Amino acid sequence: MRIVEARVIVTCPGRNFVTLKIVTDEGVTGVGDATLNGRELAVASYLEDHVVPALIGRDPSRIEDTWQFLYKGAYWRRGPVTMTAIAAVDTALWDIKGKAAGLPVYQLLGGRSREGVTVYGHANADDVESVLSEISSYVALGYRAVRVQTGIPGLESTYGVGGDKMFYEPADAALPTENIWSTAHYLDHVPKVFAEVRAEFGPTLKLLHDVHHRLTPIEAARLGKSLEPYALTWIEDPVPAELQEGFRLIRQHTTTPIAVGEVFNSIWDCQELITSQLIDYIRTTVVHAGGITHLRRIFDFAALYHVRSGSHGATDLSPVCMAAALHVDVAIPNFGLQEYMRHTPETDEVFPHGYHFADGYLHPSEEPGLGVDINEELAARYPYRPASLPINRLEDGTMHSW
């Protein structure tokens, strides 16, 4: 079997997605997600100009060799664009291998380690009363874990809080929207939110909160300490992760678990955090961390240090990525949680898939391969639309982390 064609498909059924479809001489095809939120066309160009020509004639069964070829052969290694492009190829090759073997991909990864994948939804609202109602809605749907975000009193808008509660999309304009941020208002408000949430829902519902990289290490330590009475499953991205030593300071002051890694692209980005046990959950994803091959390598490494998976799963990850993630999630021994933001009906039509939600769990498809595809005719009806993530400034106008 040889690769004879590879197509890069850009579509926008409500938000932008980039998909790679690989075709073999035996008619077996595979798909991989190549979406990099706000920088989609950079990856599309990387694939079309540099990767696709190198794939033609290759043996699709040589997944590891192809991964090493694309990673080591580029010279300019790592980075979000390169690793997202490699991920698309890798994911598509696993899809082909599963179809050729007549097995769902998780069977090729060692089979099931659990019956279902525990997912968490996003409850967000402008105020505490409204967010309690949103949490109730998720609990009624069967969710066992919920991320909680609210507006901050005194601030006009807050990243992570949107108008459409089920299909929230933060990339809202061609050029970045600028919001105003106040750490003082935030640190005062968030503990009050979780006090009310715990009082309403009791001790068993898993609660999570995303800080979105906005604090310094000592500020994050204060937040974690103030949230300890409410037993969160994790606080996510408490500080920008470039200074990994900062996590040591957080660790010294709080026992609130920490999750980080959705913006990481390789095992090297999280090596120190894992080996020093400075985090509890690693949130790397199939699409941004080099595909199934490299993500499995990260999770296996993390397992040695009692770090569990908690993969990113926002709407900018297409159903192709979600399908691939579930095959990994159901197979690895150190699974923690999987983020699950539902896609719009338009997106689900463009990407027909076999995974499904029931009782708080997502279940991977039992079809050979990943169990997902792209309807190229339908995708062509939704042209690319520029969209950027918002940014934050402090009240005095200083640029801040988003």
By annotation, the residues acting in catalysis are 159, 212
Number of C-beta neighbours around residue 327 at 10 A: 28
Longest pairwise C-alpha distance within the chain: 62
Interatomic CA distance for residues 264 and 228, integer angstroms? 27
Packing angle, helices 267-275 and 291-303, rounded to 10: 10
Give CA–CA dist 338/312, Å, rounded.
7
209 strand-pairing partners: 235
Token pair of 239, please?
């500080």
Rg (CA), the chain: 20
How many other CB atoms are there within 10 angstroms of residue 1's CB atom?
15
**Which of 27, 86, 84, 94 lies closest to 55, judged by CA?**
86
What is the Cβ-side half-sphere exposure of residue 231, based on CA atoms within 13 angstroms? 9
